[in-house]
Amino acid sequence: MSSRIYLVKTAAIGMFLIAVLGGCKVNHFASYERIYNEVDEQPPDKEMTAFISPFKEILDAEMNEVIGQLPEKISMGRPESTLGNWFADIQQIQTQKLFNRPVAFSITNSGGMRIPEISSGSIRKGTIYELMPFDNQLVVMDMDGKLVQVLLDHIAGGGGWPISGSLRFEIDSEEKATNITINGLPLDPNAEYTIGLSDYIANGGSGCDFLVGRPFDTQGVLIRDAIIDFLKSGGEVPIGKDGRISKISK
């Protein structure tokens, strides 16, 4: 094994441990280039294995910590799903708790959730890292009903995103959001709503360029950490699909 590979592995291990165990903020990647280098198959290097071993033990113990329980398997899907509903409902609760203010609803982009399902039984901390590996912060943004309509039309055009149960709407034949209600009331184009979302979306991610430049509040808390804290505290939300997003038959 070359010295270059030693340095790359050592640096990668160090950065990963700092990010996971040190609680530091890691910036988003705007883009990356994937490069493949062919290397000869080599037997495990004893020196490197010995170097990695204590770090791996620490990391395994951290990621294997049981933080909650699921009574049944939850899965991703569209226009709504059991996993998406579960995640968005927890995010809604944690947003209101963190910012100590009423939040009309909470959303997350489907692409930000990176595993298709979570099995029933014990939930490990590592599972939440796998579900949301990105360092997205939980933020709140105020917007009027007209902008909420634009946002929900965008979500409808994407086939549906995970949304909290306080928001309900239908996707019509033109892939627009219609019959929108928030906390049981019809969307008011002139009312002001506080929305819980990620800083990634607030900064225009997932095609939300119409939000770029709008002010939002943050406490510097990662969504992933908020979900973990909720589960570790014994929090639970109902599991299932309740029709919060549905498609109108043609």
Dihedral of alpha carbons 147, 244, 101, 114, sign: negative
Cβ proximity of 1 and 45 under 8 Å: yes
**Model pTM greater than 0.85?**
no
CATH 3.90.780.10-classified regions of the chain: 71-247
Q: Under CATH, what is the fold of the domain 71-247?
A: 5'-nucleotidase;  domain 2 (3.90.780)
> What value does the mean pLDDT take over residues 178-193?
98
Residue 114 backbone phi and psi in degrees, to 5:
-105, 0
Number of helical H runs and strand E runs in the chain: 7, 12
Q: What is the pLDDT of residues 55-112, one digit of tens each?
A: 667 776 778 999 999 999 999 999 999 999 999 999 999 999 999 999 999 999 988 8
Closest CA to 130 of 118, 140, 138: 118
Q: What is the pLDDT of residues 12-58, one digit of tens each?
A: 444 444 444 554 444 444 444 556 566 566 677 777 767 676 666 77
Across 147-171, b (16+ Cβ under 10 Å) vs e yields bbbebbbbbbebebbbbbbbbbbbb
What does the angle CA 115 – CA 116 – CA 117 come to, to the nearest 5 degrees? 100
Cβ proximity of 91 and 106 under 8 Å: yes
Question: Percentage of the chain with pLDDT > 90?
Answer: 73
| pLDDT band per the 50, 70, 90 thresholds, residue 1 | very low
Cβ proximity of 128 and 67 under 8 Å: yes
Cβ proximity of 153 and 170 under 8 Å: no
Q: What is the CA radius of gyration of the chain?
A: 21
Cβ proximity of 198 and 136 under 8 Å: yes
Interatomic CA distance for residues 229 and 238, integer angstroms: 18
pLDDT of residue 155: 98
